[in-house]
Amino acid sequence: MTPATPTVRVAQAQDSLSLVWDDGLAEDRPALWLRDNCRCPACRHPDNDQRLFDIADLPTEVRIAGARVADGAVLLDFAPDGHKGRIPVAWLRRIDGDEPEPQLWGAEMAKRLPRADYNAVRRDPAALRRVLEAVRVYGFAVLVGVPSRPGQVIEVAELFGFVRETNYGRLFDVRAVANPSNLAYSDLGLGVHTDNPYRDPVPGLQLLHCLESDVDGGDTLLVDGFRAAAVLREEAPTAFALLTQHAVPFRYRDDETDLRARVRLIETDDRGRVVAVHYNNRSIGTIDLPADVLGDFYDAYRRFAAILRRPNLTLRFKLDPGALLLMDNRRTLHGRTAYTGTGSRHLQGCYADRDGLESTLRRMRGAA
Ligand code: NM2
Ligand code: OGA
Ligand code: ZN
Ligand code: ZN
């Protein structure tokens, strides 16, 4: 149940409005902010709620000539143009902060893998929602009981979002082949990495579905990139700062492709929070930073790489046939141990964007 919106009293000054809520909250809103957020039908299209004007269309000195509360809305007389504004009281107290905080993890996650049965997820929106929430909170989830059918991975991606087609195709087969164009298509071990840091924008999600695995080795390794970044920040703040400040080139080339992008190994947002990690030893290019930062940068890079190998940070498990790993490719690093044997190992993967998953999840939360 949504809690009832508190009632509000308004007191107007020329260039701002003070809102005093009966639960004690008091806040000032500038006149221009109120005008920009006017919800009247002349300002917002009633069919789609999209704004009908541009900020540059508004008078240079928006002022408030009158304000009162009536019928669940704040009614505003704006000067100098006499615009009659309307903003619902509930809108003024809306809470957008329903995005979950990431929860950091390490090796101990093996005991409580975020796991769900594919059949349940297909049938029950609540089960799908739990999977998508896990991807938001932990950066990955595992589905089990996914039929070992070629192409099945696409159907899973389309449960919540849109497949991102790339030079690797709409889906790609991960198995050992002769003359592999990418080391993923070999039986070598792969250190933990994020996929395609050489692509702009980087794919936000990766799905890996195991169809067959009848070899020795080939264990899955996962590391929480946000945790690794937090450890670096704690143990070596200067190294952390260097990796968030300087971008490095990543590159992938084959007969048809030449992809390049410059990214920072650790990306932070305007509030200093870690929002992405990009790491791939196979495709990092020549680090071309100025000579006076190169030495310190290498120290920082190597320190971060060593953290990514710590056993207490490494979640290790076997991706069995019928299991599908859904990962946030801007957070969770994945890898595999080398494998040998006469049997075969075959995964199919695809990429998808995060916005589709997030949109689906918000709609599910809204419906609950
Ligand atoms: N594959 C599996 O990002 C990478 O180059 C990792 C990607 C070839 C699509 C492998
Ligand atoms: C990949 C990859 C892991 C595996 O294809 O990008 O990391 O288990 N594969 O083969
Ligand atoms: Zn208006
Ligand atoms: Zn990979």
Is residue 174 lining ligand 1, measured as CB closer than 6 Å? yes
SS3 332: strand
pLDDT for 14-48, tens place per residue? 899 999 999 999 999 999 999 999 999 999 999 99
Choose one of 153, 170, 181, 182 to mutate for the ligand 1 pocket test, by most ligand atoms within 8 angstroms of C-beta: 182
CA 92 from centre of chain: 28
Is residue 336 lining ligand 2, measured as CB closer than 6 Å? yes
Q: How far is the CA of 367 from the centre of ligand 1 (A)?
A: 37
For residue 213, CA distances in Å to 16, 38, 143, 316 come to 66, 59, 16, 16
- pTM to 2 decimals? 0.94
Q: Return the structure tokens found at 11.
A: 């007191």
The whole-angstrom separation of Cα 84 and Cα 96 is: 27
Q: How confident is the model at residue 367 (pLDDT cuts 50, 70, 90)?
A: confident
Percent of the chain with pLDDT over 90: 95
Q: For ligand 2, atom 5, which residue shows the shortest CA distance?
A: 184
Q: How confident is the model at residue 1 (pLDDT cuts 50, 70, 90)?
A: very low
225 pLDDT above the threshold of 90: yes
Q: What pLDDT score was predicted for residue 305?
A: 98
The whole-angstrom separation of Cα 86 and Cα 313 is: 53
pLDDT for 115-151, tens place per residue? 999 999 999 999 999 999 999 999 999 999 999 999 9
- Note the ligand closest to the C-alpha atom of 165: 1
SS3 121: helix
Other Cβ atoms less than 10 A from the Cβ of 349: the count is: 20
Q: For ligand 1, atom 2, which residue shows the shortest CA distance?
A: 184
Nearest-atom number in ligand 2 for the CA of 345 is 10
Which value, to the nearest 10 degrees, does the dihedral of the CA atoms of residues 199, 201, 206, 211 take?
-40
5 pLDDT above the threshold of 90: no
Q: How confident is the model at residue 276 (pLDDT cuts 50, 70, 90)?
A: very high
Q: For ligand 1, atom 9, which residue shows the shortest CA distance?
A: 168
CA 298 from centre of chain: 28
Query: Within the chain, where are the H helices?
Result: 31-36, 89-92, 118-123, 125-138, 152-157, 225-235, 237-245, 291-307, 354-367
Choose one of 172, 253, 260, 350 to mutate for the ligand 1 pocket test, by most ligand atoms within 8 angstroms of C-beta: 172
Q: How far is the CA of 362 from the centre of ligand 1 (A)?
A: 30
Contact yes or no for 322/148 (Cβ under 8 A) = yes
Is residue 208 lining ligand 1, measured as CB closer than 6 Å? no
CA-nearest of 367, 358, 248 to 305 is 248
Sign of the torsion angle spanned by Cα atoms 220, 221, 224, 229:
negative
Q: Which conformational region is residue 184 in: left (phi greater than 0), alpha (psi within -120 to 50 degrees), or beta?
A: alpha
Please name the helix (run of DSSP H) or strand (run of DSSP E) that holds residue 62, with its range, or none: none
Nearest-atom number in ligand 2 for the CA of 206 is 6
For residue 77, CA distances in Å to 34, 68, 144 come to 11, 9, 59
pLDDT for 39-91, tens place per residue? 999 999 999 999 999 999 999 999 999 999 999 999 999 999 999 999 999 99
CA-nearest of 10, 91, 3, 79 to 44 is 91
Nearest-atom number in ligand 2 for the CA of 220 is 8
